[in-house]
Amino acid sequence: GSSAQRSLSDFNQFKAMVVSGAKGLSINISQVIACVGQQNVEGKRIPFGFVENSYLQGLTTVEFYFHVMGGRESLIDTAVKTAETGYIQRRLIKAMKSVMVKYDGTARN
């Protein structure tokens, strides 16, 4: 990650976003410039699932297939976690609706 990041100019906008913390990680720079890397499904490495091409070079059909396998699992996991978090927030709001913070800074029911 860091060696790919060092290879970019300080005026590179992608690098600026990552360094500032606004968006992306150094691993994203590596995946664009160097190689995408090992793909995992269910927390395990896929046999022959190492993607040696970068997004810049383009993935082969086999590399794309393995990459999609890992990405699909991640997408589903994100959707499930978002739903769970939203439900927990809804329950907390319902439970706390009668609690008020008064002028003296105390929370009262």
Tokens of 92: 């907390």
- pLDDT at residue 2, rounded to an integer: 79
The answer to whether position 62 is within a domain reads yes
pLDDT digits (tens, 9 = 90+) for 48-96: 889 999 999 999 999 999 999 988 988 998 888 898 999 999 999 999 9
The answer to whether position 72 is within a domain reads yes
- pLDDT at residue 45, rounded to an integer: 93
The answer to whether position 92 is within a domain reads yes
Contact partners, residue 56, CB within 8 Å, separation at least 6:
32, 33
Rounded to 10°, the helix 26-33/13-20 angle is 150
- Residue 85's CATH number: 1.10.132.30
Q: Give the count of domains, the chain.
A: 1
Structural domain range at position 55: 2-98
The answer to whether position 104 is within a domain reads no
The answer to whether position 49 is within a domain reads yes
The answer to whether position 106 is within a domain reads no
Contact partners, residue 18, CB within 8 Å, separation at least 6:
5, 24, 25, 26, 28, 29
Contact partners, residue 38, CB within 8 Å, separation at least 6:
45, 46, 49, 50, 51
pLDDT digits (tens, 9 = 90+) for 2-43: 788 888 999 999 999 999 999 999 999 999 999 999 999 988
The answer to whether position 105 is within a domain reads no
The answer to whether position 108 is within a domain reads no
